[in-house]
Amino acid sequence: MNPGIVDWHVSYGFSPRQRVDASRERVEKLLAAHGVGIALMHHLEGLWYDPLSGNEALLTAFAGTPHVPVCTVNPLEGEERCRRAFAAACDRGARFWRLYPKEQGWDMGHPVAALILDLLREGRCCLLMDSDAKGIQAALDLARDEVPVVGSLHFYDSADWSLRLRPYRSFYPTTRLLHGPGTLRETARIFGDRLLFASGAPFGAVASSLALLDEVGEAVRERTLRGNARELLGRFGHGD
């Protein structure tokens, strides 16, 4: 039997914008039903309310589980607050972080964003961030190839990001928004050794995300669902 699928974009908690049952119990049942063995899990409290308490709750909830907690900071809270949130989570072993520029209303030109990338480089961390291609490129440039950047880019921007981001070996695209005909196959051709599966659960459908992989061969499917992820996770102490 193949080891479980690795899903790079999973949330739980309360969202003020989407009326979906995103309780931890429902999310974990949903993942298990579709064969997801490891989820990169982030707490919506950290996005919408308080990164400090959200990170604390997240790290406590998933300690000792196969899932990987993904912490966050909000640049709009300022330098001191971001440093405090980062230090508190790193002291508990956090190595994976997600930023939310679109949802929180900032971009990578924010001066605290550059500080955050410095902290991620110094802490030898991995960044998850959804943005347009220019935003991802800005993060990659600030990371200086020292921080892997995992991002979900939309199929309708593929003419931009397929060329803009191709030179960056530290960029890892996910499948979450690649639902245009042939887009996933083309993405796998360019980024095949770095393409990662992501569903956006519970706000995205795991089954639909898995169905996207029907257009690629079994070798690409296996690497996307498991192999590429396990290589990247292994760099941060989450190997088998």
Q: Is the pLDDT of residue 183 over 80?
A: yes
When the pLDDT of each residue in the chain is averaged and rounded to a whole number, the result is: 94
In whole angstroms, what is the distance from residue 236 CA to residue 35 CA?
23
Q: Is the pLDDT of residue 2 over 60?
A: no
In whole angstroms, what is the distance from residue 5 CA to residue 63 CA?
20
Q: Is the pLDDT of residue 165 over 80?
A: yes
Assign 3-class secondary structure to the chain. CCCCEEEEEEEECCCCCCCCCCCHHHHHHHHHHCCEEEEEEEEHHHHHCCHHHHHHHHHHHCCCCCCEECECCCHHHCHHHHHHHHHHHHCCCCCEEEECHHHHCCCCCCHHHHHHHHHHHHCCCEEEECCCHHHHHHHHHHHCCCCCEEECCCHHHHHHHHHHCCCCCCEEEECCCCCCCCHHHHHHHHHCCCCECCCCECCCCHHHHHHHHHHCCHHHHHHHHHHHHHHHHHCCCCCC
Q: Is the pLDDT of residue 109 over 70?
A: yes
Give per-residue pLDDT as tens, 112-147.
Answer: 999 999 999 999 999 999 999 999 999 999 999 999
pLDDT score of 72? 98
pLDDT score of 19? 87
pLDDT score of 240? 57
Give per-residue pLDDT as tens, 50-67.
Answer: 999 999 999 999 999 999
**171-176 mean pLDDT:** 96
Percent above pLDDT 90 for the chain: 92
115: left (phi over 0), alpha (psi -120 to 50) or beta: alpha
The CATH H-level superfamily of 5-234 is Metal-dependent hydrolases (3.20.20.140)
Question: Residue ranges per domain, the chain?
Answer: 5-234
